[in-house]
């Protein structure tokens, strides 16, 4: 009987290309025989692991809720938003030149902000739109801005100030800053610098854990060898 593959998740979005590069660098190239690119398998069958593509924000809940999913990759921003910790974080050298190495979760002021940006942060009567309500709330509480209306939006939020005059700020993730610039957002505070991390099921089987350990070892070994060659 053929052994059951270990099922892991890949995040759609900005980290996907970088993760695929990291796997390729470690001779673990992935391909997607599915035309819709939802399932990935190893080209050389290096490990009995298959990967399913989901939204980055859905990785933690799918790992926790689905019995057949042993773990998945997602940004540390997503994990922090859900009060979770990564089992390990990919070394940045594994990700290649296209990785969003300067990615940051930022607080940005919209053109509706009624004060000079250089002034002390004052958002008390503002609405802050974000995909990261928990991280935003925690940050604002540290800044003693406890009464700000933080509203969750899953879609694009850069232009909310055009339809809501009370929208003085947003919290979002950026790798180049281009989208913020195009929407006249002034990036003022960096809340965190996300990295790609691996999140695992707390009830993982020994077999799945051994396969995941092999995957991690291959990626880290390649990174160490590359680091030594570049010195």
* Cβ atoms within 10 Å of 175's Cβ, excluding its own: 15
CATH 3.40.190.10 residue ranges for the chain = 6-100+195-230, 104-192
Q: Selecting from 3.40.190.10, 3.40.50.11540, 3.30.413.10, 1.10.1060.10, what CATH number does the domain 6-100+195-230 have?
A: 3.40.190.10
**Per-residue model confidence as pLDDT tens digits over 172-181:** 988 778 889 9
Q: Residue 107 — pLDDT band, cuts 50, 70, 90?
A: very high
| Contact (CB, 8 A) for 48 and 3 | yes
Query: What backbone phi and psi angles, to 5 degrees, belong to 92?
Result: -65, -30
**Per-residue model confidence as pLDDT tens digits over 119-149:** 788 998 999 999 999 999 999 999 888 889 9
Mean residue pLDDT across the chain: 87
Q: Residue 227 — pLDDT band, cuts 50, 70, 90?
A: very low
Query: Is 6 a residue whose pLDDT tops 80?
Result: yes
CATH of domain 104-192: 3.40.190.10
| 222 sits in which H/E element | helix 206-230
Q: What percent of the chain has pLDDT over 70?
A: 88
Mean pLDDT, rounded, for 154-166: 93
Handedness of CA 101, 22, 202, 34 (dihedral sign): positive
Looking up tokens 């180049």, which residue turns up? 176
Mean pLDDT, rounded, for 183-194: 93
Q: Residue 231 — pLDDT band, cuts 50, 70, 90?
A: very low
């Amino acid at each position: 009987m053929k052994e059951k593959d270990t099922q892991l998740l890949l995040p759609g979005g900005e980290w996907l290309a970088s993760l695929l590069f990291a796997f390729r660098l470690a001779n673990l190239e992935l391909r997607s025989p599915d035309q819709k690119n939802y399932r990935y398998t190893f080209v050389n069958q290096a490990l009995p692991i298959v990967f399913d593509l989901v939204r980055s924000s859905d990785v933690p809940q799918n790992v926790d809720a689905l019995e057949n999913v042993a773990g998945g990759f997602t940004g540390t921003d997503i994990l922090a938003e859900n009060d979770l910790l990564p089992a390990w974080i990919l070394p940045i050298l594994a990700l290649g030149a296209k990785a969003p190495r300067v990615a940051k979760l930022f607080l940005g002021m919209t053109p509706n902000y009624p004060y000079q940006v250089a002034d002390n942060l004052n958002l008390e009567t503002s609405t802050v739109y974000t995909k990261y309500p928990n991280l935003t709330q925690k940050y604002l509480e540290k800044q003693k801005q406890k009464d700000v209306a933080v509203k969750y939006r899953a879609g694009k939020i850069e232009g909310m100030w055009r339809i809501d005059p009370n929208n003085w700020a947003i919290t979002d993730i950026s790798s180049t800053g281009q989208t913020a610039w195009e929407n006249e957002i002034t990036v003022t505070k960096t809340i965190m610098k996300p990295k790609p991390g691996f999140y695992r099921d707390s009830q993982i089987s020994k077999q799945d854990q051994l396969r995941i350990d092999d995957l991690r070892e291959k990626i880290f070994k390649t990174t160490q060898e590359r680091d030594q060659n570049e010195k």
